[in-house]
Structure 1
Amino acid sequence: MKIIFKVIYFLFLFIFSMSFAQVKISGVVVDEQNQSIPFANIVFVDSNTGTVSDENGKFYLESNKTYTKIEVSFIGYETKIVPIKSRDFNLTIILNEAASQLDEVFIYSGKVKKKGNPAIAILKKIWAKERENGIYLFDQYQYEKYEKLEFDMNNVDSAFMKKKLFKGMEFVFKNIDTSNITGKAFLPIFINESVYNSYGKNKDGKKLREDLVANKNSGFNSNQNVIAFIKDLYVDYNIYDSYIKIFDKSFVSPISKASGISTYNYVLTDSAFVDNKWCYNILYYPRRKSELTFKGDFWVNDTTFAVKEINMQATRSANINWVKDIYIEQEFNVLNDSVFLLKRDYMLSDFSLNKKDKSKGVYGRRTTMYKDYIFDEIKDPSFYSKEINVYDEKIYNKNDAFWSGNRQEKLNDNELGIYKMLDTLTTVPKFKKMYNAISILGSGYIEFNKFDFGSIYSTFGKNDVEGLRLRVGGRTYLGGNEPWRLQGYTAYGFDDDKFKYGVSGKWMLNPKSRFIIGAGNRRDVEQIGVSLTTTNDILGRSFASSSFFASGDNSKLTSINLSNFYMSIEPKHNLQFKIGASYRTLESASPETFNLDYWVDKQNDIRKSNIIQSEIDFSIKYTPDRKTIGYGVERNEVTDTYSTWFLNYSQGIKGVFDSDFDYQKLQFYYRQPILIGGFGRMFTTFEVGKTFGEVPLGLLNVVPGNQSYFTIENTYALLDYYEFVTDTYASLHIEHNFNGRFLSRVPLLRKLNLREIVGVKGVWGEISEKNLALNASNINYVAPTKGYYEYSVGIGNIFKVFRIDFSWRGNYLDMPTANKFAIKGAFGFHF
């Protein structure tokens, strides 16, 4: 009986192993001194299937075919043939230093010199031809694109599957697969499929249009925040560009004309026919560690010098958080002798808390396929300005027959099983509790039936007026794409013994043009002057009224009663017009220490301490390249790295509902992120504004100070509240994050992956004599007529989540309460 059992057992193992790759190997390549050899070339003998060792000399390789030997090579070392088994892990391969070098290539300290290198000569011809290949040859082009996004739990082993966490959910492990890149077992947990019709124009002004034809989701189906995050991870890129943007970082492309030769070593390793085209194989690897670089190889045609195939693997030492590995493959089809068209683009990312091999994490995989290219089919210029209705329900309800006919790459059995598995999983109570807990942490809201409680992050606060502050609130939630929403909150301050509240509602009357009406009312305590450019957002909450950590006097708070009504429309994607009317009253929340008094009759010593104001306003907001998800009255933004143009005009109307003042206010705001290749990203914010007419302190423009211990965007780190007040102003903020460009080259700091941040902020402003004369408050404010500025140096990515900034005051140093130096910090999760 035992013999029969063993036969059955081994037969099962054989069948199980045959269902996956025939050969799987892994190991490390070292030299005679047992020092690892990074970027060594490992290839199955008599095949084109191979890989490159990482910067620690480690590698993994597999194939569906049967091989018994591998060839291991690296410039400067003798090539070695190593026999292997079908499952051969933890190999240690020792290469001996070669007695002589190739005539064409000169080696010095592991770096390939440029002079006489045939790979460099080929690279220069690629640059000369890069704009003469593929779609760039044609005036107009179009194609069909299929995109599949998949997320998988990785490093799934037997110990992991036996954890109590999965008790009652063991069925999910039926869909386990193995990565052909890393060799790790993984469990698919999310799939998103999309089909697009894409159009482009090269001449007379480049134009692009992409129509979403179909979309299908599994996994986090109802969580728009999760889907928005996933879609933002993967953006389109072009290997011929100097830099490839991944996770908001600029990796130097191995084909880069600007930085390639100074960043990478290139070695010509082989030549062969690839799809009946004679091609050269070039191996590349980075010259330095800790930079945003890749390692890998590419095949390039010998006549057109178009890339036929390329693979790119990010070096683990690259200064990027939460990502252990990035792997990219691109394949190009040959249309004729001179046209190479992108056929398949594959990207795998291994997300993990650390970069250890055995650490568990999540794979993010994107596969994009292209077909049915059509060229020079003339389209009217107006064609590219038209937009399809992406909110059409037909897009999201395609049947199985459609997907079977439009998937350019069929789903395997495990991928097909995700849809069924996750439908079953969502019915398991234990999974629901786990999912809800994660959702609460991400959104800040606790979901009930058609109602969300929160935000939980606003529950507790503290300031000098209210003391300890408690706040509870909620919003309607009907699935994430509802045409209307109600939300509100109430708060209580234990020191002032007062209740506050806010309530608002909005309704989208036309989804196509996003015509929305909204109204609301708020009675609360807030810090006036937390931003120069202001709006009448009902539920916009002042950070000062809920701060636990503040320095100096934090009692200059204002009690506000604000009601407003507005209408907005979006006739063009990301272009919004808005008109509204508001009524508000303002008075000091702590009259003993701070007041907003203004003169009604100075000669007779008559003053007023509260302001009553009716106002109408009109604004235009343009956010090109902004990406959103969802089609309800509220949408989630995919990323904040888009430019913003905002113009607002406000008209105060005296006498309406006892309103006190006539005035006009004009404000302009512009924010622009600038990606500067390998030197990181710069953010610039420019604001100007002017108030026409006589108004008191409560209606002027307060230059935003920052009395907290944290770095807050668009505030001045060394200014107190009400230190500068204007009726005419111009402000410029510049901040640049070098993403570790320089610190990564300091040996003792390299492994810390720190990032350098520098910034400068300046504001000029003035205030009219009439407005100064109107002031009867106990705040003796001034305007920065000489132009105030401050500058800062910061270190980011401390323990991956913390940033510290050192700020210095540039002028106005002789003011009685001037802060000359400050240290502030901030928490955040960034790649």
Structure 2
Amino acid sequence: MNHLLRCISYQTVLFLSGLLFLSAGLTRAQVTTVTGTIIDGATNQPLPFANIVFVGTTIGISSNERGAYTLTGNGNFVSVAFSFLGYKTVTKSIKPGISQQVSIRLEPDAQVLNEVVIRKSKQERYRNKNNPAVELIRNVISHKEQNQIGHYDYAAYEEYDKLQFSLSSLSTKVSERKIFQKYKFLLNNRDTTTLPGKSLLPVYLEEKVSDAYFRKDPAKEKVIVKAKKRVDFGQYFDNNGLSLYLNRMYSKVDIYSNSIFLMTNQFLSPIASNAPLFYQYYLADTLTIGKAKLIGLNFVPRNGTDMLFEGKMYVTLDSNYAVQKINLTINPKINLNWVRDLQIRQQFEQNTDGRYYLSKSDMLADFGISKGGKGGGIFGQRTLSYRNYKTDEAHTASFYEGSPQVVAEDATTKPDVFWVENRHDSLSAAESKIYTNIDSLKRMPSFRRTMEALTFLLAGYKSFGPFEVGPANTFYSFNPVEGFRLRLGGRTTPELSKRYYAETYAAYGFKDQRWKYFLSGTYSINNKSIYQFPQNYIRTSFQRDTKIPGQELQFVQEDNFLLSFKRGVNDKWLYNDTWRIDYVHEFENHFSYSFGFKNWQQSAAEALLFKTATDNENTPSRTLTTTELSVEARYAPNEQFYQGKIYRIPIVGRYPVYTIRFTAGVKGLLNSSYNYQNLTASISKRFYLSQLGYTNVAVQGSYIFGQVPFPLLTIHRANQTYAYQLNSYNLMNFLEFVSDHHASLSIDHSFNGFFFNKIPLFKKLKWREAVSFKALYGGLRSQNDPQQNPSLYQFPVDALGTPSTYTLTKTPYIEASAGVANVLKFFRIDLVKRLNYLDHPNVSQWGIRARATFDF
């Protein structure tokens, strides 16, 4: 079910899963693990946020809000130190290389008690009312606007962005094995300082230096990328898509926003407007840095299973009530896949105007299959650094026009000396070797052979340099018309030409004994790959093949083997001969338009007939020929894509997508039989609801002007497979409903485990709940109704003469579903119910549908 993967491309699966399983297989290290609970010796209550560290190292951790901790490190450690401000430090001996429990009591230190703000005893029931910690956080919340860069009429700063991925917990013995000798230059490049207790092998790095500009009224941002560089894995990965995906996983964190988007999920900020309803706050300690007096504020979720942070912030005790420093982490109980540890550390510096601006943001995440941080995994770190803040430089309105991000022409060709001078911080010794190591790796024949095998397995294409064969999942399929069907095809690659492309396939059905084939040629006007954004090309094509009426599948080909399995009666097909000429032009601002020419010859196949009311039984089924001219406009602001081998899959974001299409049939042009016009428009958008998950909403409508037979009406998108299809009606039969005007509404909501996380069994399974609702309203004017116009093709009937195609009445077609997502971390299973039109033949009131997904 590769074709149904949502929000991820095959290259990203290849990159992440490959690294994850590789690191798991290579892990061999001696691990010392200490767990336990820290108790306040004065109150006998758990002591949260105490410090635990292996003596003589920088490997440490803090206890959680329940005073519990788990400290893990690779090495032969013999003692652990426990400390907390205002308490006496305690050192305990431990046994190296094993797992053990050490629980202790920390006694107050009378000599430093006067430096500590007294914490409210946790024996008392927590309340917001008359709570000084809550009063403090409410002051922080009320001053949020003045502490953001958007408070100024104009602002500018320089940003340095570094994103790095590594294999974690690799044994030093790996590089000594004979099979890995040729990769020794890569395996010996370890980092043992970034993540205490773990050995990291860097495999991916990207850097960017930018100037950012902001205008308050009207709100507008402009980013000029001065320089950027990244690891290039060559043809085996969509390097742009991989970069987009990794940056989306490690999104920029703005603690002053109500919601923080991380790992495809939304977390409520501890200083969100309604944060006191979801968090508990505790005063911790005070600090003085220079002339600034700061107060420490610990925060923990009220419910440990919600998508919330825990951690500590320091707030300035002046009129700003600004955050000067904050550390965020997550509770291990929350419903996140693969993430074993997540830390976010941010620092703010005071500018000349007295305000505090973000100076550095560091996000670290450890991914792995095993739990508890043990075993191999993938470690990722994104570091953002800011400097040269200016709040008094105005720019003209024309400066902000055009694309919100501009990349300098020489951004990717900056010399090494530029990076040495302009990095806000130097690379580590291990990071500095990543670029050259990966360049050497991708030139190795053994690496290329391995990647080609994985590409064929996951994407279905086998490359032969300038030409590739595939996709593999269409080599074999079956259907009622063709029976057993074999297909073989391929296409040229950019290695042959970035200007000219060709694609072809040939297929043979052993039941109908007919050949089907396809041939296309594409010319890239902007001399860039036609599979990459922004597209600008013209394509001509001819296709002779079978088709289910009304099926316009996304991100999958109809002869995919897995779609051969269908429920119910599926005996109405078409033979199509289609000539096309298409022109597509996309712009950097994500507006696009296209023009199309299509000559389409439809012949009925299997049980489908094209006959009028005046035809008799011996009249042969007719052939319908039409010629269409079309124009489409689409606007998807800030849209990003995952680029697959076959399809470019949009990343669903918070911005709406608008599409409008106009098609005109021209009678007499190349034997076209009808004059008609079809206007279709749609809007789709994702709404993020913080702790309650997110909702995908899509609205569509169309209207056909003129008189046409049913094959040219809107044949509503049905689904008779067992896979859940987002853009189809999953309990509607093929060719069941047709309309010449319609409006539809689709709502799909994911709660992200908000309710299941509070149910013990579901919480352990990390299942997530989802619901959907689809409604279709439409109709058929009398001029297009074959019962009132005998010259039109009659609606299809079954073998007994019972109608199998209908038009919608005043009652809309409705179906709803309730689903369980994140089953085995990859699948969503829905129980779908059809709510009306149940008197139609061969329909199901209930159905179970599944689809593959990939979410964190």
TM class, shorter-chain normalised? 0.7 to 0.9
Q: Which stretch has the larger CA shift, 573-582 or 213-222?
A: 213-222
Q: Is residue 2:813 matched to residue 1:813?
A: no
Moved more, 786-795 or 463-472: 463-472
Please tell me whether the aligned partners of residues 152 and 362 of structure 1 are also in contact (alpha carbons under 8 angstroms).
yes
1:803 corresponds to 2:803: no
Equivalent position of 1:525 in the other structure:
546
Secondary structure at 2:420 match in 1: helix
SS of corresponding position for 1:289: coil
Cα separation, 2, equivalents of 1:426 and 1:229: 21
Task: Give yes or no for contact 1:147–1:193 (8 Å, CA) kept in 2.
Answer: yes
Summarize the Cα distance change of 1:410–1:645 in structure 2 as closer, same or farther, 3 Å threshold. same
Shift of 1:827: 1.9
In 2, Cα distance between equivalents of 1:103 and 1:661: 84
Give the CA deviation at 1:608: 5.3
Would the aligned equivalents of 1:29 and 1:53 in 2 still touch at CA under 8 Å?
no
Confirm or deny: 8 A CA contact 1:26 1:58 kept in the other structure: no
TM-score by length of 1: 0.87
SS at match of 2:489: strand
Identity over the aligned pairs, expressed in percent? 27
Contact between 1:463 and 1:545, CA under 8 Å: does it hold in 2?
A: no
Between 1:499-508 and 1:650-659, the stretch displaced more is: 499-508
Q: What do the CA deviations read for 1:719-760 (whole angstroms, capped 9, x no partner)?
A: 111111111111111110101000101123211111111111
After superposition, the Cα gap between the structure-2 partners of 1:278 and 1:27, relative to the gap in structure 1 and judged at 3 Å, is farther
Structure 2 residue ranges without an equivalent (≥5): 1-30, 529-533, 787-791, 798-802
d(CA) in 2 for partners of 1:826 and 1:36?
Answer: 47
In structure 2, the partner of 1:737 is 750
Secondary structure (helix, strand or coil) at the match of 2:233 reads coil
Task: Say yes or no: does 1:284 pair with 2:299.
Answer: yes
Cα distance in 1, alignment partners of residues 345 and 641 from structure 2 = 28
Q: Write out aligned runs for 1:664-703 (5 A).
A: 664-703=677-716
Q: Does 1:190 align with 2:173?
A: no
| Structure 1 unaligned residues grouped into runs of 5+ | 1-23
Structure 2: distance between partners of 1:166 and 1:410 = 30
1:503 aligns with 2:519: yes
Q: In 1, distance between residues paired with 2:58 and 2:190?
A: 28
Which amino acid in structure 2 is aligned with residue 409 of structure 1?
A: D
User: What's the CA shift string for 1:464-487, capped at 9, x where partnerless?
Assistant: 112222222222222699344322
Q: State the partner residue of 1:7.
A: none
Letter in 2 for 1:522: Q
- Aligned partners of 1:439 and 1:186: how far apart in 2? 26
Name the counterpart of 1:556: 572
What residue number does 1:19 align with? none
SS at match of 2:523: strand
- Aligned match of 2:652: 640
One-letter code of the match for 1:295?
A: E
State how far apart, in whole Å, the 1-side matches of 2:354 and 2:509 are. 73
1:77-96 counterparts in 2 under 5 A? 79=87, 81-83=89-91, 92-96=101-105
Alpha carbons of structure 1 residues 484 and 638: separation in structure 2 relative to 1, 3 Å:
farther
Report how far residue 71 of structure 1 moved: 4.1
SS at 2:566 equivalent: coil
Q: Do the aligned partners of 2:59 and 2:197 also contact (CA within 8 Å) in 1?
A: no
Would you say 1:396 and 2:396 are equivalent positions? no
Cα drift, residue 316 of structure 1: 2.0
Checking the alignment, whether the CA contact within 8 Å between 1:755 and 1:797 is kept in structure 2 is yes
C-alpha displacement of 1:231: 3.1
Are 1:252 and 2:268 counterparts?
A: yes
CA RMSD of aligned residues (A): 3.6
- Structure-2 residue corresponding to 1:52: 62
CA gap 1:106/1:433 in 2 versus in 1, 3 angstroms: same
- Counterpart CA distance in 2 for 1:86 and 1:215 is 47
Which residue number corresponds to residue 267 of structure 1?
A: 282
Provide closer, same or farther for how the CA distance between residues 806 and 603 of structure 1 changes in structure 2, counting only shifts above 3 A. Answer: closer
| Other-structure match for 1:241 | 257
Q: In the alignment, what sits opposite 2:137? A: 123
2:50 maps to a residue whose letter is N
Q: 5 Å matches for 1:566-585? A: 566-571=582-587, 573-585=589-601
Q: Which has the higher contact order (CA 8 A, sep 6+)?
A: 2
1:201-228, CA deviations, whole angstroms, 9 ceiling, x for partnerless residues?
Answer: 12x2321122222221225254224334
Residue 140 of structure 1, aligned match among 140, 149, 154: 154
User: TM-score, with normalisation over the residues of structure 2?
Assistant: 0.85
Task: Tell me which residue corresponds to 1:432.
Answer: 448
Residue 542 of structure 1 deviates from its aligned partner by 3.0
Provide the secondary structure at the position in 2 that maps to 1:487: strand
Say whether 1:348 aligns with 2:364: yes
Distance in 1 separating the partners of 2:503 and 2:695: 36
The DSSP-based 3-state class of the residue aligned with 1:424 is: helix
In structure 2, relative to structure 1, the CA distance for the partners of 1:414 and 1:268 (3 Å cut) is: same
Distance 1:213 1:399 in 2: 12
Distance 1:143 1:107, change over 3 A: same
Alpha-carbon shift at residue 384 of structure 1 (Å):
1.6
Shift of 1:337: 6.0
Deviations 1:763-811 (A, max 9, x none): 0111122222212353332212221111111111111112111111212
Q: Distance in 2 between matches of 1:748 and 1:792?
A: 22
- 1:223-250, Cα deviation, whole Å (9 max, x unpaired): 2243343233222231112211112201
Contact 1:298–1:311 (CA<8 Å) still a contact in 2?
A: yes
Greater Cα offset, 391-400 or 140-149: 391-400
User: What is the CA distance between 1:521 and its match in structure 2?
Assistant: 1.4
Distance in 2, matches of 1:50 and 1:59, equals: 10
Specify the alignment match of 2:21 in structure 1. none
Offset from partner CA, 1:268-323 (integer Å, 9 cap, x none): 11111235421111122223233212222111111111111111112222211122
Distance in 2 separating the partners of 1:325 and 1:213: 33
Instruction: Give yes or no for contact 2:314–2:325 (8 Å, CA) kept in 1.
Output: yes
Q: CA deviation at 1:413?
A: 1.1
Distance change in 2, residues 1:510/1:239 (3 Å): same
CA pair 552-635 structure 1, distance change in 2 beyond 3 A: closer
Whether the 8 Å CA contact 1:105–1:112 is kept in 2: the answer is no
CA contact (8 A) 2:227 2:408 kept: no
For residues 422-821 of structure 1, the aligned pairs below 5 Å read: 422-478=438-494, 482-510=498-526, 515-531=536-552, 541-542=557-558, 547-571=563-587, 573-590=589-606, 593-598=607-612, 609-628=622-641, 636=648, 639-641=651-653, 642-773=655-786, 774-779=792-797, 780=803, 781-785=805-809, 786-821=811-846
The AA in structure 1 aligned to 2:153 is: D
**Which secondary structure state, in structure 1, belongs to the residue aligned with residue 371 of structure 2?**
coil
Q: Secondary structure at the match of 1:763?
A: strand
1:217 pairs, out of 227, 230, 245, with: 230
Whether the aligned pair in 2 keeps the contact of 1:242 and 1:257 (CA below 8 Å) is yes
For the residues of structure 1 that align with 2:446 and 2:703, how far apart are their CA atoms?
57
8 A contact 2:49–2:67 mirrored in 1: no
Report the alpha carbon displacement of residue 648 of structure 1 after superposing the two structures with TM: 0.5
Counterparts of 2:706 and 2:39, CA distance in 1: 82
Counterparts of 1:43 and 1:771, CA distance in 2: 77
